[in-house]
């Protein structure tokens, strides 16, 4: 028989039980046995009044059987079975369990609650029936094992060795001969009176052997010597969990019963051994316990034990001798008795020797007992500064000693010696970051160390800048600012600036200090710094103080820039000019880092000259170069001082930047197109979403004498609209005064035709002429038309490129990229029906093959059959100017990288004004995630369109009404409203949660629509002929 088998059945006493256990362990290997074991595990229920420990052991037995069958179950599943085996009345016990819990945690909750129930039952025996007082075994025997009766005070004889008293009625049966002899001896020694015994809530059926003491230490430092240790009773049978033992080896009080604590602070630690291989006790908390102590000659007293360690695995409850001594109490041991005396000589606690351990004559106090003036703390005494620190609300040590020294209060008994130790409460409530050093090592030479930081994003400037890169030389404190349109431009700007400064000074940069942002910590910049031998120093996360030089430079220049902008009355788009001016004058200003010189002088060795400075924003004139003017033109133009050269802020057309009342396409608006022949004197920008919020938008509007007008600007083309022909003529005359311009047909703009239908208040955009030109250019005239731009189910990939040299030569002669470029222009302006097909084929530009070329020709054939299709805009009715969004995604569309396709369509009224079909940048692991990312892509453009309508007075404000976005995925809709699926979606990039913020603030409302009614569906994949015709009609394309 192996040791493993012996361990399983060696405890059994007879052959029958051994055979039964062996049959249970090793015969149950069939599927039927497994089924029955699982059934028992699932259906076993705990009955009220049943032994809880036996029930837990039974459930464990089923799990052990499964393990022996090699069909064990997961611990979390077993924990669930154990939990559901309890009655519903026990559900409150599991309220404190974490989201994912183990079987040990469930057992711990059950055992703790079982202990509380048992304690409540035994406390009722602590009072006399008549007056509610508690009796500690003061009973007179009627006979052997008979009931005891109440009597007066009794005094145990000194030197007696008291035995075990019955703790119930008369049911305790003494089975040990030694115990019977001891009881007889005790009766004789007490002259017929039962000696005093500590209270026992449970009847003990047999003598318990003496315990051997083991010395253990603690890894959690809570004692004066730096750790707690305890001489724990390690015998095979523990005392009652209501017995308290006076332990000379324990450095802290220990209790194994959770229900005994009046208050418990959850802490974690261990109490271990001074031996290397000693046992370890887990400390789950520390708190306060009240016990009733019996002292001969007086009534019971309630004693409070403080800072008691809760160790549920401890065999016994221990009271530390060392803590009693630390408290100033005296411990006297003589002839098998022990007494604990207070400094005035009164006995606080007493006990007797049992099994070579001193058991104190005490029990757990009832819940309604009041504490006496005796309090035994495991850590402090009444004169200890740690105690007063907590009593005074965690007041600092200096203030406490000041109170005592100046006698500002009474009752503060504070010892002079000792100091305030570590405090856990202060660690939670007063934990502060250590101060940063005031003096750090400075660079000795110019360009030895540069500090850099990125500030932004700001509102896009008139030139499109959104970030500023601040650079400060450590030695001279001279600063520079570079302006960026994107964060990704930082690497190139850093390389260019460092090269320029090294060339200017003739020195080499040694150290570069930045924060840990991605614009500084990247592969390209890291390799460049290593090649130049520059050491990159970067700060700890969330510690901007370590990069304080540039942080202070940014704050100073930004504050000065704000002052100048607001004083000059300039628009926010000129923030780079204000920052540049602030940086320029800051280098001429004193700083505490330098003594007697400015940063400019420290860097260049020359004192700066400030005589040429003027107030930022003051009026001035800028000379016009001869090549930019004619002989009769003015030699200069009005401008504003402090702005970079070449930037003009004249506002001659400011009347055109006032609000209007409706969109141009929804009313009869005469239009005209002009093109400047020379550079204008006012700055212009190309149309983009960011430009609409800049000080110089591409859409200028005006209301003059109640008549609204609009000027749309694109590069050097301007299209003007007005409700009144006379007002349009006035505006054009005003523009001709400012620019040298030529008149063009307003119905033709950048290659497409604008058709005005005055009766229906609509306009149409037609690309017929351009499409015909493209068809002839690629020799597709005379082809047979098709009904869809791409065959349904067509899947292409980048590996379908040319394989043979002949195919490579053929594709080199094929104008694939030229055709895709022409189709893209058509799809962006007037034909959203080919947007998906064109975007899909554009990703194969670098390695196109014959299959890709045939698919591109197929789009051109489709256009040849739909030459008369035009995009209709405008209309009449209440919803003619209502903004509506449609969003969709095709999950895992790309068969190579499995990236999805995002698509959106934005409509004003029932006509499409903006659309997009774009491959997502990252792989979405579910359709919900891909739809959620598509919604974010759609909402960004929706924000720009809302602002456009606000500019046109179609929306009063951002919060006037929520803009609907229709989506065909309900899970993504739920995700956009709240983060309840956070556990499943926490991996999604933060940028894609953009939509959630704007749903919460009421800018958008996401609504569900069936897939076959989602207009954006046609921009994510090829459709069949019937579905595609419905899609074309919904877009607003008519023929």
* Least-confidence region, from 382-396, 464-478, 605-619, 906-920: 382-396
Specify the higher pLDDT residue, 274 or 882: 882
Name the architecture of domain 877-1038: 2-Layer Sandwich (3.30)
449-604 matches 877-1038 in fold: yes
Confidence check: pLDDT of 371 > 60: no
Contact between residue 188 and residue 180 where contact means Cβ atoms under 8 Å apart: no
Confidence check: pLDDT of 912 > 60: yes
The number of C-alpha atoms within 13 Å of 828 and in the hemisphere containing its C-beta is: 10
Q: Using the CB atoms, write b or e for 880-894: b if 16+ within 10 Å.
A: bbbbbbbbbbbbbbb
What is the average pLDDT across 821-845?
A: 90
Task: Dump the DSSP string for 795-808.
Answer: ---GGGS--SHHHH
pLDDT on residue 151:
35
* Least-confidence region, from 141-155, 478-492, 836-850, 885-899: 141-155
Confidence check: pLDDT of 178 > 60: no
- Residue 319's nearest CA partner among 299, 301, 334, 338 is 338
Alpha-carbon distance of 135 to 767, in angstroms, equals 105
Confidence check: pLDDT of 932 > 80: yes
What is the average pLDDT across 569-591?
A: 90
Confidence check: pLDDT of 223 > 70: no
* Least-confidence region, from 380-384, 388-392, 856-860: 380-384
CA angle 750, 755, 761 (to 5 degrees): 130
pLDDT band at 945 (very low <50, low <70, confident <90, very high): confident
CA–CA distances in Å: residue 534 to residues 475, 515, 530, 549, 989: 17, 16, 6, 19, 33
pLDDT on residue 248:
83
- pLDDT single digits (tens) 44-63: 988 877 888 888 888 888 88
* Least-confidence region, from 66-75, 212-221, 914-923, 974-983: 212-221
Contact between residue 103 and residue 246 where contact means Cβ atoms under 8 Å apart: no
Confidence check: pLDDT of 980 > 60: no
The mean pLDDT of the chain is 75
Instruction: Find tokens 């195919």 and name the residue.
Output: 807
- pLDDT single digits (tens) 529-553: 999 999 998 887 777 777 888 888 9
pLDDT on residue 663:
41
pLDDT on residue 683:
29
Axis crossing angle, helix 816-829 with helix 835-842, rounded to the nearest 10:
150
CB neighbours (10 Å) of residue 75? Answer: 13
CA angle 816, 819, 822 (to 5 degrees): 150
Confidence check: pLDDT of 387 > 70: yes
- Residue 357's nearest CA partner among 242, 188, 244, 498 is 244
Confidence check: pLDDT of 369 > 70: no
- Residue 659's nearest CA partner among 621, 697, 629 is 697
What is the average pLDDT across 390-402?
A: 85
Specify the higher pLDDT residue, 646 or 577: 577
Confidence check: pLDDT of 696 > 50: no
Structure tokens at 880: 């003619």
Backbone angles phi, psi at 449, to 5 degrees: -140, 135
Confidence check: pLDDT of 491 > 70: yes
What is the average pLDDT across 135-161?
A: 36
Backbone angles phi, psi at 99, to 5 degrees: -60, -40
**Maximal C-alpha separation, the chain:** 139
Cis peptide before 457 (omega within 30 of 0): yes
pLDDT on residue 102:
87
pLDDT on residue 422:
77
Structure tokens at 19: 């055979």
pLDDT on residue 598:
93
* Least-confidence region, from 232-246, 764-778, 791-805, 927-941: 232-246
Confidence check: pLDDT of 486 > 70: yes
Alpha-carbon distance of 889 to 919, in angstroms, equals 9
What is the average pLDDT across 416-427?
A: 73
- pLDDT single digits (tens) 1026-1038: 999 999 999 988 8
Helices in 659-741 by DSSP H: which ranges? 725-738
pLDDT on residue 474:
92
Alpha-carbon distance of 1034 to 868, in angstroms, equals 17
Confidence check: pLDDT of 646 > 50: no
Instruction: Find tokens 């929804």 and name the residue.
Output: 666
pLDDT on residue 885:
93
pLDDT on residue 558:
92
pLDDT on residue 367:
66
The H or E element containing residue 116 is: helix 103-123
Domain 449-604 class, CATH top level: alpha beta
- pLDDT single digits (tens) 249-277: 888 899 888 888 888 888 888 887 655 56
For β-strands 963-967 and 883-890, DSSP reports them as parallel
Which parts of 248-284 are beta strand (E)? Answer: 254-255, 261-265, 269-271, 281-283
Residues in the chain: 1039
Contact between residue 358 and residue 336 where contact means Cβ atoms under 8 Å apart: no
For β-strands 285-293 and 281-283, DSSP reports them as unpaired
Alpha-carbon distance of 930 to 890, in angstroms, equals 7
What is the average pLDDT across 677-700?
A: 38
Alpha-carbon distance of 1023 to 791, in angstroms, equals 8
pLDDT on residue 834:
92
pLDDT on residue 953:
66
Alpha-carbon distance of 325 to 382, in angstroms, equals 14
Structure tokens at 416: 């002079």
Confidence check: pLDDT of 483 > 90: yes
Query: Of the spans 143-147, 244-248, 527-531, which averages the highest pLDDT?
Result: 527-531
Confidence check: pLDDT of 220 > 50: no
pLDDT on residue 10:
67
Burial class (CB in 10 A: 0-12, 13-18, 19+), 238: middle
Strand order in the sheet with 963-967: 911-919, 901-908, 883-890, 963-967, 1004-1008
Instruction: Find tokens 């002052």 and name the residue.
Output: 563
Q: Which residues contact 825 (CB under 8 A, 6 or more apart)?
A: 751, 770
Specify the higher pLDDT residue, 336 or 432: 336
Instruction: Find tokens 């200028």 and name the residue.
Output: 700
Give the start-to-end residue ranges of the domains of the chain. Answer: 3-124, 214-379, 449-604, 654-746, 766-871, 877-1038
* Least-confidence region, from 51-65, 91-105, 547-561, 771-785: 91-105
Structure tokens at 128: 């006399």
By percentage, how much of the chain surpasses pLDDT 70?
74
For β-strands 870-874 and 741-744, DSSP reports them as unpaired
């Amino acid at each position: 028989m192996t040791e493993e088998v012996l361990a399983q059945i060696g405890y059994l006493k007879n052959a029958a039980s051994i055979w039964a256990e062996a049959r249970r362990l090793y015969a149950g290997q069939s599927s039927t046995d497994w089924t029955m074991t699982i059934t028992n595990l699932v259906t076993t229920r705990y009955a009220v009044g049943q032994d809880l420990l036996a029930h837990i052991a039974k459930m464990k037995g089923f799990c052990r059987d499964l393990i022996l069958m090699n069909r064990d179950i997961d611990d979390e599943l077993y924990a669930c079975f154990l939990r559901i085996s309890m009655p519903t009345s026990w559900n409150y016990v599991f309220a404190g369990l974490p989201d994912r819990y183990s079987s040990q945690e469930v057992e711990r909750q059950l055992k703790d609650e079982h202990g509380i129930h048992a304690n409540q039952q035994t406390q009722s025996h602590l009072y006399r029936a008549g007056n509610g007082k508690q009796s500690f075994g003061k009973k007179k025997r009627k006979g052997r094992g008979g009931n005891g009766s109440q009597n007066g005070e009794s005094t145990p004889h000194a030197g007696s060795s008291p035995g075990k008293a019955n703790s119930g009625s008369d049911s305790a049966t003494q089975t040990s001969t030694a115990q019977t002899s001891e009881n007889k001896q005790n009766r004789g020694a007490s002259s017929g009176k039962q000696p005093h015994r500590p209270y026992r809530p449970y009847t003990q059926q047999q003598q318990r052997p003496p315990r051997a003491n083991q010395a253990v230490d603690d890894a959690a430092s809570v004692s004066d010597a730096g750790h707690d240790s305890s001489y724990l009773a390690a015998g095979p049978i523990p005392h009652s969990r209501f017995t308290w033992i006076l332990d000379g080896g324990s450095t802290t009080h220990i209790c194994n019963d959770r229900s005994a604590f009046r208050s418990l602070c959850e802490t974690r630690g261990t109490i271990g051994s001074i031996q290397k291989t000693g046992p370890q006790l887990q400390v789950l908390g520390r708190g306060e316990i009240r016990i009733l102590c019996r002292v001969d000659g007086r009534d019971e007293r309630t004693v409070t034990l403080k800072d008691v360690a809760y160790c549920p695995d401890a065999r016994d409850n221990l009271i530390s001798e060392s803590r009693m001594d630390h408290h100033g109490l005296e411990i006297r041991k003589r002839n098998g008795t022990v007494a604990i005396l207070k400094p005035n000589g009164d006995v606080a606690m007493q006990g007797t020797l049992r099994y070579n351990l001193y058991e104190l004559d005490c029990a757990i106090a009832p819940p309604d007992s009041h504490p006496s003036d005796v309090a035994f703390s495991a850590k402090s005494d009444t004169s200890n500064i740690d105690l007063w620190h907590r009593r005074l609300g965690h007041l600092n040590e200096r203030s406490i000693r000041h109170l005592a020294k100046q006698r500002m209060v009474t009752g503060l008994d504070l010892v002079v010696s000792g100091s305030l130790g570590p405090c856990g409460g202060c660690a939670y409530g007063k934990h502060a970051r250590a101060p940063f050093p005031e003096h750090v090592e400075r660079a000795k030479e110019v360009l030895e160390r540069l500090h850099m930081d990125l500030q932004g994003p700001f509102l896009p400037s008139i030139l499109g800048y959104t970030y500023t890169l601040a650079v400060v030389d450590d030695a001279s404190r001279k600063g520079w600012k570079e302006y960026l349109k994107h964060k990704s431009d930082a690497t190139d700007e850093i390389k260019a600036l460092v090269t320029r400064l090294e060339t200017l000074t003739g020195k080499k940069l040694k150290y570069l200090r930045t924060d840990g942002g991605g614009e500084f910590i990247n592969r390209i910049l890291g390799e460049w710094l290593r090649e130049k031998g520059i050491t990159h120093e970067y700060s700890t996360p969330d510690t901007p103080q370590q990069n304080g030089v540039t942080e202070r430079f940014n704050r100073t220049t930004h504050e000065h820039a704000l002052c100048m902008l607001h004083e000059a009355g300039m628009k926010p788009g000129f923030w780079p000019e204000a920052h540049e001016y602030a940086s320029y004058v800051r280098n001429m200003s004193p700083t505490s880092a330098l003594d007697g010189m400015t940063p400019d002088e420290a860097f260049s060795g020359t004192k700066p000259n400030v005589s040429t400075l003027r107030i930022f924003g003051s009026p001035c004139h800028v000379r016009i170069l001869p090549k930019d003017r004619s002989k009769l033109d003015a030699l200069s133009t009005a401008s504003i001082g402090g702005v970079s050269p070449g930037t003009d802020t004249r506002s001659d057309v400011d009347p055109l930047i006032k609000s209007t009342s409706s969109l141009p396409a929804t009313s009869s608006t005469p239009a005209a197109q002009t093109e400047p022949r020379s550079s204008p004197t006012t700055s212009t920008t190309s149309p983009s979403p960011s430009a609409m919020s800049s000080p110089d938008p591409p859409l200028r509007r005006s209301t003059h004498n109640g008549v609204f007008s609009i000027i749309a600007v694109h590069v050097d083309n301007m299209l003007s609209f007005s409700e009144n022909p006379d007002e349009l003529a006035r505006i054009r005359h005003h523009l001709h005064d400012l620019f040298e311009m030529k008149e063009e047909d307003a119905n033709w703009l950048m290659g497409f035709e604008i058709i005005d239908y005055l009766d229906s208040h609509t306009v149409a955009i037609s690309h017929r002429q351009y499409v015909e030109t493209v068809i002839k250019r690629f020799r597709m005239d005379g082809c047979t038309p098709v009904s869809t731009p791409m065959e349904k189910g067509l899947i292409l990939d980048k590996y379908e490129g040319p394989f043979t040299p002949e195919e490579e030569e053929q594709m080199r002669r094929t104008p694939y990229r030229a055709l895709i470029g022409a189709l893209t222009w058509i799809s962006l302006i007037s034909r959203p029906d080919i947007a998906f097909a064109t975007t899909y084929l554009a990703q194969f530009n670098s390695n196109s093959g014959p299959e890709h070329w045939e698919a591109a020709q197929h789009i051109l054939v489709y256009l040849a059959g739909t030459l008369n299709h035009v995009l209709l805009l405008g209309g009449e009715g209440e919803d003619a100017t209502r903004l509506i969004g449609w969003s969709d995604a095709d999950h895992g569309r790309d068969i190579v990288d499995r990236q999805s396709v995002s698509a959106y369509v934005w409509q004003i009224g029932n006509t499409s004004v903006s659309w997009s079909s774009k491959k997502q940048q990252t792989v979405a692991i579910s359709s919900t995630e891909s739809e959620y990312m598509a919604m974010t892509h759609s909402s960004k453009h929706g924000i720009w369109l809302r602002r456009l309508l606000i500019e046109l007075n179609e929306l009063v404000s951002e919060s006037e009404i929520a803009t609907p976005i229709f989506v065909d995925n309900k899970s993504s809709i739920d995700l956009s409203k709240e983060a309840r699926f956070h556990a499943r979606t926490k991996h999604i990039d933060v940028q894609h949660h953009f939509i959630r913020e704007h749903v919460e603030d009421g800018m958008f409302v996401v609504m569900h629509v069936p897939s076959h009614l989602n207009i954006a569906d046609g921009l994510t994949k090829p459709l069949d002929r019937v579905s595609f015709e419905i899609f074309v009609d919904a877009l607003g394309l008519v023929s």
